[in-house]
Amino acid sequence: MIPSSVTMCERCDGLCCRVYDIFDQTTWRLVKRAWDKCGYLDVNNRCRIHTTRDKHPGYSDSCSIYDCLEWWPIVTSFARRIPEDIPQKFAIISSLLEVIRLKLTTLSEENRKIVLLFAARELNSLDTSNQETLLLSVKVVRTKIEHYKFDD
């Protein structure tokens, strides 16, 4: 079950701080590989440098574009249901996060909530135990989110 917005932060696994590569913007040196836990995450998966990101090369630009907007916890809840032995797990999660982010950044707050509820229902209905159907099912959900139409 998807948590309420009141409990979402408490259930966060810090996906936004894991999923992307971080590069130093001046030297283009890789600072953090995708799916490595960010060294700035504390034990509660909270960012220790959130308010001072601009003083940390790479983190200012990379992290500032990923405000939660409540989609991380929805994908986190889904990700917890995917068995660890599915080799495409990280690709599945990354693609979901990006599709939802791109969709939500174009919408009003009211419409974001509608799409988030839709995404949560779709993801909750997926069977995560079958690797073969999971990949196709997630692709279908991503397409539905990308092309979501609002009732007029």
- Looking at residue 6, its pLDDT comes to 44
Q: Which tens digits make up the pLDDT trace of 57-108?
A: 777 777 766 666 566 678 888 888 898 888 888 889 888 888 988 898 889 9
* Whole-number Å distance between alpha carbons of 144 and 146: 6
Q: Which residue has the higher pLDDT, 104 or 137?
A: 137
The three-state DSSP-derived secondary structure of 15-63 is: HHHCCCCEECCCCCCEEECCCCCCCCECCCCCECCHHHHHHCCCHHHHH
Q: pLDDT band at 119, cuts 50/70/90?
A: very high
| Residue 52, both tokens | 């001072």
* Whole-number Å distance between alpha carbons of 142 and 97: 9
Q: Which residue has the higher pLDDT, 112 or 12?
A: 112
pLDDT above 90 covers what percent of the chain?
A: 19
Q: pLDDT band at 4, cuts 50/70/90?
A: very low
- Looking at residue 2, its pLDDT comes to 44
Whether the pTM exceeds 0.85: the reply is no
pLDDT at 141 over 90: yes
* Whole-number Å distance between alpha carbons of 140 and 5: 26
**Identity of the amino acid at 121:** R
Question: Where exactly are the structural domains of the chain?
Answer: 21-64, 71-146
* Whole-number Å distance between alpha carbons of 81 and 2: 12
pLDDT at 37 over 90: no
pLDDT at 12 over 60: yes
User: What 3-state class would DSSP assign to 142?
Assistant: helix
